[in-house]
A = this chain, B = another copy of it.
Amino acid sequence: MESVVKTDRRILRTKQSITKSFLELFSEKDFEHITINEIADRANVNRGTVYLHYSDKYDLLDKCIEEHINELISLCKKREHDTVSHGMVQEPKPVFDYFRDHFPFFSAMFSNQRAFLFRDQLLKFITVNLMVKMERSDNTPIIDNEIKAQFMASAFIGIVEWWIRHHMPQSTQFMADQVRNLFENNQVYPR
Nearest neighbor of A44 in chain B, beta-carbon distance: B13
Q: Is A85 an interface residue (CB 8 A)?
A: no
Q: In A39-72, which residues have CB < 8 Å from any B CB?
A: 44-46
Nearest neighbor of A16 in chain B, beta-carbon distance: B44
| Copies of this protein chain in the complex | 2
Nearest neighbor of A46 in chain B, beta-carbon distance: B9
Nearest neighbor of A12 in chain B, beta-carbon distance: B44
User: Could you tell me the distance between the alpha carbons of A164 and B159 in the complex, rounded to whole angstroms?
Assistant: 46
User: Could you tell me the distance between the alpha carbons of A1 and B45 in the complex, rounded to whole angstroms?
Assistant: 29
The residues of B that contact A13 with a CB separation of less than 8 Å are 44
The residues of B that contact A44 with a CB separation of less than 8 Å are 9, 13
User: Could you tell me the distance between the alpha carbons of A21 and B45 in the complex, rounded to whole angstroms?
Assistant: 19
Nearest neighbor of A45 in chain B, beta-carbon distance: B9
User: Could you tell me the distance between the alpha carbons of A56 and B46 in the complex, rounded to whole angstroms?
Assistant: 29
The residues of B that contact A9 with a CB separation of less than 8 Å are 44-46
Nearest neighbor of A13 in chain B, beta-carbon distance: B44
The residues of B that contact A46 with a CB separation of less than 8 Å are 9
